[in-house]
Structure 1
C-alpha cells in the first residue's frame, strides 16, 4: 500500500496539488519554502467628482450595486466626492505602505478621468 495512512488519509493538504503548502500570512510557506519580500498591499476607494447631479448619479449607481447588502448605506456614505478627501485617502493608504490605490469611480461621466487626475495630481 502506498500513500498516506491513518487519520486524515485521503484529505489533500492545502497547496498547489504538488504537495507544497499554500502561502500563509506574509507570504510564508511551510517547510522552509516560500516567497521572499513583503506582499503587495492594494487599496480601493469609491469616488466621484463634479456637480451635485453627477454625485447623485454616482450614489445611485453605488447603492444599486450594493443594495442586497446590509452595509449598503455605510458604503454609499463613504463615497469620496471632493479632491481633498481623495488626496487624503490616497496619502493615508500610501503612509501605511500601499503599493497601489485604486480609485473606483461610480459616475458614468467620462470627464471623471480628467477631474480625478487633476484632483489627485494637481490639487484641483
Structure 2
C-alpha cells in the first residue's frame, strides 16, 4: 500500500510557500503523492493552482486532487484546458484527478452554479473532459499523459458507483475507517465487473493527523473550525479520530493495508512543514 500526504489547506495556514515546502519534503521523504482538497467558502487554496506550483517544485511525486468540486466549474472547456495544462506542467503520469459532486449548498449559491442539477452538470463536464483528453475538443492541446490523467471519484452514492465503473480509475473514500471500505468496496467491485472492466478499481482513503507536543491543539484548531457546520457531535468525532501520536501511525497503515486499501493519505492539520518529517520518522522512512 502506498502512503501519501494531504496538504493542510483547511488548517490556519498563512504563507502559501509553506504548502510548497510540504510538497518538496513529501517527495524527499518518499511519499507517494501530494493531495489537495477543495472548498469555495473557506480558506482552502484553489487545488489546481497549488498543484501547478507543487509540480514546478518537485520532479516525480504524484499530484492528486482529493477531491475537487467538479460542478462548480461551469465552463467545461476551460476546466478541461486547465487540467490538460497542469498535466503538461507536471509531466506525464503524475496528475490524478479526484472529483466529487459536492454537498455544501453554500458553495454553489456563492458561485452561481445550480445545486439541484449538479449531478447532470458533473456528467456533462466528464463528457467534455473525455473529448478533450482524446481529441483536444477544439483547444488544440492534448494531455501529456496519453488518454488524460486518471479519474478518481469521491462519495458513496449510486452515481459515484456508476461514474467510477463507467469512466473512472478508482474511488476516493475521503476521511474514512477500514469499516467504511468494507461496506462500500464490494459494491464498487460488483459494479466495476458489471461494466466489464479489467482489474480492480483503485481505493484511496484519508486520515487526519498532527504530531508533536502541540498536536491536539492543532487538531482542535483546524478540524473544530472546518467541520463546525456539521454540528458539535460530528466535529468532536473528527477531532477524536485524528492521529496525534507516533505509535498510531504505523498501526493505521497496517489496518488499512489489511482492508485492501491501495493508498492511504495522511492529511495534515498543522501547517508547519516539519510535520512531514515527523510523519516520515513515525513510519520509519
Does the pair score TM above 0.5?
yes
Equivalenced residues, count: 100
1:87 pairs, out of 250, 253, 257, with 250
2:203 counterpart residue number: 41
Match of 1:50 among 205, 212, 216: 212
Aligned pair partner of 1:28 in 174, 190, 193: 193
Consecutive unaligned residues in structure 2, runs of 5 or more: 1-122, 128-161, 166-186
Query: CA deviation digits over 1:4-59, x for unaligned, max 9?
Result: xxxxxxxxxxx887xxxx43731134xxx43111111111110000113x430232
Matches within 5 A, 1:1-124: 22=162, 23=165, 25-26=188-189, 27-29=192-194, 33-52=195-214, 54-70=215-231, 71-122=234-285
Shift of the alpha carbon at 1:74? 0.6
8 Å contact kept, 1:59–1:79: no
User: Residue 57 of structure 1: SS of its match in structure 2?
Assistant: helix
Richer in helix (by share): 2
- Would you tell me which structure has more strand in proportion to its own residues? 2
In structure 1, stretches of 5+ residues that fail to align are: 1-14
Aligned partner of residue 37 in structure 1, secondary structure:
coil
Partners of 2:210 and 2:218 within 8 A in 1:
no
Q: TM-score, normalised by structure 2?
A: 0.33
Aligned equivalents of 2:200 and 2:251: distance in 1? 25
Comparing 57-66 with 73-82, greater Cα deviation is found at 57-66
How many angstroms does 1:97 deviate by?
1.2
User: What CA distance in whole angstroms lies between the structure 1 residues aligned with 2:282 and 2:247?
Assistant: 8
The runs of at least 4 consecutive aligned structure 1 residues that moved more than 2 Å come to 22-25
TM-score (norm. length: structure 1): 0.71
Q: Whose relative contact order is higher, 1 or 2, with alpha carbons under 8 Å and at least 6 apart? A: 1
